[in-house]
A and B are shown apart, each in its own frame.
Chain A
């Protein structure tokens, strides 16, 4: 029987890179993603003794990561509102100034277009488009029905296309 620490190390080995990319796409900052990933794995470690196995480990780990990411974004939104600033504008500024960004202008615009989506819609889009999770997997993680996810993804896709077509970079 594996000790908790062994299980935890396996989770780190199996999921840290994949979850980093998810979080990185959501927060648009390498440093914030790094900090948030520490918090996520600390939460996983703390909650691991209470993991009963009702859900798959995969689903459970992703659920913690996506919830923590949404909480982080909500806190950012509140902090920005208290400073009378727009969190979307701050995210766009981050994308513009990101030293780790090495994509094309079109990819930069795609990142900015994603920022303009509501957080949950953005999350579904990132999970489907970038993380390449199936609708069934996203459904198990978020607790949203496959039908609702498909609708949400379609709406997000249309909004992104619209934003990109205005900039003529959708091709």
Chain B
């Protein structure tokens, strides 16, 4: 493709442009209200950020050391998503055999005979 200038300009445009641009040093630089207050806004924003971050760091440093419950929470989550709920039963040491039998009986898919058979195998 040839590189011919495909765009035109109004007549005497560049002459006028040069004249207009040359007047820039004599123009009063327009300053908007925002431009006037922006250094102060930046200063206020910096202070606000400092106060927020500083306050957070101070509170974090001053807070008493707490036990890490993160593992308990993960354990809770894994139990809550376990489809059979068996993990919860196994890990909960306070449950009695009776509780477990009642839980299994409440589940329609497990019969009394099956539980009795399991108890028999365990006893032997």
Contact = CB atoms under 8 A, between A and B. Distances in A.
A51 interface: no
Contacts of B20: 38
A102 B24 contact: no
Contact of A12 (B8, B22, B29): B22
Contact of A4 (B8, B9, B25, B27): B25
B96 to A, nearest CB: 64
A37 B14 CA distance: 12
Interface residues of B, number: 18
Contacts of A111: 6
A153 B17 CA distance: 31
Chain A interface residue number, banded: 35 or more
Contact of A24 (B3, B7, B21, B22): B7
B6 A20 contact: no
A102 B6 contact: yes
A163 B17 CA distance: 35
Interface string A135-171: 0000000000000000000000000000010000111
A34 interface: yes
Contacts of B27: 42
A1 interface: no
A169 B1 CA distance: 8
Interface string B3-23: 110111110001001101110
Nearest to A102: B8
Interface in A87-107: 98, 100-104, 106-107
A171 B1 contact: yes
Contacts of A103: 4, 6-7
Contacts of B25: 4-5, 8, 45
Residue among B1, B17, B29 with the highest chain A CB neighbour number at 10 A: B1
